[in-house]
Structure 1
Amino acid sequence: MLYKLLPTTEWDEALAGGRLVGSALDRQDGFIHLSAADQVVETARRHFTGATGLTLLTVDPARLGAALRWEQSRGGQLFPHLYGPLPVAAVVAAEALPVDTPVADAVAELLG
């Protein structure tokens, strides 16, 4: 599975439209940033510390087709990048993160 951390308001918009077009950073970079299970906690720590009102999406990579590419990024690691919108049908779970727990800890707890 792959993961996407985003503001809950963006997820609500995606549900209404049937697809996620990504954050401003995603759109600027030309792809939707995703993380593998072993990357998402560090992504939360680096990019979402102090943020609230977030949702963690669990995405089935088999539902993304050829638009999904693994590319070198942070520290030379390969990260999943989606070149195109993320269909809501590819999301197998969406968990709102508690506001009283640091984001990285909440993500780690959800992943078990």
Structure 2
Amino acid sequence: MLLHIITTAGWDAAQSAGAVVPNEGDEFVHCSDRGVVHVSAGKFFCGQSGLLLLVIDPKVIEAPVRWEPVADSPLWFPHVYGPIPVAAVTEVHEFPAEPDGSFVLPDAVAVL
């Protein structure tokens, strides 16, 4: 299971296009797993609203998935080097920020 944080507008666009694609200027789609998604959320989305957490089946993705380290961190993150078909998304969860701007993994995802 891979996780991807996306705005509701971004998810609407992905559904229309049939895939989640890398952001402009990026060569891959940034993903996470349950153990590190809060790090990504806190660093890049602190306090933002209108976010969704996509649960993705990596077996449905044809693009290469590479687990890569992040500079100045002991953590590794999955990067998808190409589009993630909408069909690979098995669940979509609202991903609201807590009052302090941090994020908590939805219960439904925490037990997967």
- Whether the TM-score (by the shorter chain) exceeds 0.5 is yes
Unmatched segments (≥5 aa) in structure 1? none
Task: Among all aligned residue pairs of Structure 1 and Structure 2, give the percentage whose two residues are the same amino acid.
Answer: 35
**Greater percentage in helix:** 1
Residue 86 of structure 1 pairs with residue 84 of structure 2: yes
Q: Give the CA RMSD over aligned residues.
A: 2.1
Q: CA deviation at 1:54?
A: 0.6
Size of the aligned set, in residue pairs, is 108
SS for the counterpart of 2:82 is coil
Please give the TM-score of this superposition, normalised by the length of structure 1.
Answer: 0.82
Q: Where does residue 22 of structure 2 map in the other structure?
A: 22
Whether the 8 Å CA contact 1:50–1:103 is kept in 2: the answer is yes
Say whether residues 1:3 and 2:3 are aligned partners: yes
Q: Bigger CA drift: 39-48 or 90-99? A: 90-99
The residue that corresponds to 2:94 in the other structure is 96
User: SS where residue 38 of structure 2 aligns?
Assistant: helix
Structure 2, gaps ≥5 residues long: none
